[in-house]
Amino acid sequence: MSSAIALVEVGPRDGFQPIGPHIATDVKIAFVEGLYRAGLRRMEVTAFVNERAVPQLSDAAEVLRAAQLLPGLAAQVLVPNKRFCHRALEAGASHIAFVLSASEKHNQNNVRRSPAESVEEYGRLVADLPGGTRVRLNLATSFDCPFDGPVPEADVLKLLDALIPLRPGVEVALCDTTGRVTPDRVRSLFERSIRRYGNGTGWAFHGHDTYGLGVANVLAAYDAGVRVFDSSFAGLGGCPFAPGATGNVATEDVVWTFNNMGLETGVDLGSLLEVSMRGAEIPGAFSGGRVRNALEGQRCVQALEG
């Protein structure tokens, strides 16, 4: 089993979307460029969604254009349906991330459809994609729903049975939308999913850190065979449609952990921390993670001792 780690930086989308005060487009682009300089080569840079529901992402086309100027950056964009997928494609997107929820109530709150209707929409979407378009499938509330609590594994597997044949070989991200799952359940669902669908499907984990288990859940997914992980610089994030969910697992926490396990991430932690420090200062942002503050405290102690 390969030990190579791939990080997907979702701060420019998942991290920015719940922030109320508008972040200037050039500031968003500067963060994308800073993260790129730190070594991150895959990012969910924005989303094409209803601008009334998520006004922070109304400049999606401009941010995407700027991101595509960075050599070697895989810039994926989130879309909830075929209509917004077309908008993304018209703006030049070549890597689409489609999102639906495993739980009925969250899917209704998020995209105004039942999960079954979203499966049908996904089928229409992938059937109409231009050749060469990369696809990521984000299955939100794979472990827990903010309205109904724990989601049975059988419900998730049933959805995957319907989704995966529609576009074999896509990357599937099982998402802990609320941050309430525990490592044993993360490991169990991924192990069952990987056994069920073999090696033809790529797997990713998207976690939040509401209860401080973000990194522990990342490691549980890693133990189950997952090698692609979503994270957000400065721990920014939180789903507007998941009451109580706090930020994503912090990218710097994940990088520090894997680096200290001897696993290469390709990310320069020092450069990342500089970007994360600025991210934590964005007006209206709620930051998270531990490594940023721990290393800053250590630096301050060293400066005093020096």
Beta 228-231 vs 6-9: how paired, if at all?
parallel
Query: Cα–Cα distance between 248 and 214 in angstroms, integer?
Result: 8
Query: Positive or negative, the Cα torsion across 228, 165, 79, 142?
Result: negative
| Catalytic residue check, 300 | no
Tokens of 182: 């525990």
Q: Which residue has the tokens 């995209």?
A: 111
Secondary structure percentages of the chain, helix, strand, coil, to 5: 45, 20, 35
- Give the residue among 265, 135, 155, 263 at the shortest CA–CA distance from 201: 135
Q: Which residue has the tokens 């709150």?
A: 109
Q: Cβ–Cβ contacts within 10 Å for residue 103, how many? A: 26
At position 64, the amino acid (one-letter code) is L
> Strand pairing partners for 9?
43, 231
- Active-site option among 85, 145, 175, 239: 239
Q: Are 190 and 122 in contact (CB under 8 A)?
A: no
Q: Is 194 helix (H, G, I), strand (E, B) or coil?
A: helix
| Distances 29 to 34, 97, 169, 219 between C-alpha atoms, Å | 9, 20, 31, 31
Q: Is 91 exposed, middle or buried (0-12, 13-18, 19+ CB in 10 A)?
A: middle
For 277, phi then psi, to 5°, come to -60, -45
Residues acting as catalytic residues:
239
